[in-house]
Structure 1
Amino acid sequence: MDNHKIYKTSFASVYPHYITKAEKKGRTKEEVDLIILWLTGYDQTTLTNLINDKTDFETFFNNAPLLNPNVHKITGVICGYRVEDIEHPLMQKIRYLDKLIDELAKGKSMDKILRT
């Protein structure tokens, strides 16, 4: 899949996969939501509306109120790429989220995931 298709993919179409991944490892939808809210600055009501509206990833991240100031602390490999080295800003944000969900599924504590 090329990047343009990823950006235009509905966030709502991927969101259930985040939840499934987390729940298979004993984590919760609430923890997934907390990660998304921490990363983007959205509130729960807005997140629900964005999902219901089938907002694409590009719009989802471009309209995010505030990317968390600790986002630079998200490092490591996801999908074969080091997240801190991804040059395209939108792709980097998408991979940040992927990385955080991976950490949740791998059993990391929320304190570590949210870089507190």
Structure 2
Amino acid sequence: MKKCIPYVSQGKELSTKELKQIIESNIAVIEVALTAGLAYYSYNAHYTPGSLVIQSISSLNNQSYSMSYSYEWTVFNGCLDLNATEEANEKVSFIVKPDGLEFDIIDFDPASSENEL
């Protein structure tokens, strides 16, 4: 799925430091999508709000970048006597476009019966 953080670059090439500042100030736009894959671990896994931290941003090629980030998540399952806090380390790619930063995020929405046909 594509998620966009609006930003008008006015043709200016942005440094990785500037990109990080733009993303951090607009993290709420993409935070849910970046942390949506926790069902892979358990349906009882939950993102710890506000724990997402951008570790680094690196240039891939012309206006394409990779962002490494981490966040905390918890899982509780009383039946299995499981109560843990973990840290996830992930990467996502994005493209700087004239009207914003376009992130290419894996869609973790559960499949439904409407997708079967």
Q: Where is the strand percentage greater, Structure 1 or Structure 2?
A: 2
Q: Normalization by structure 1: what TM-score?
A: 0.29
Q: Where is the helix percentage greater, Structure 1 or Structure 2?
A: 1
Bigger radius of gyration: 2
Q: Normalization by structure 2: what TM-score?
A: 0.28
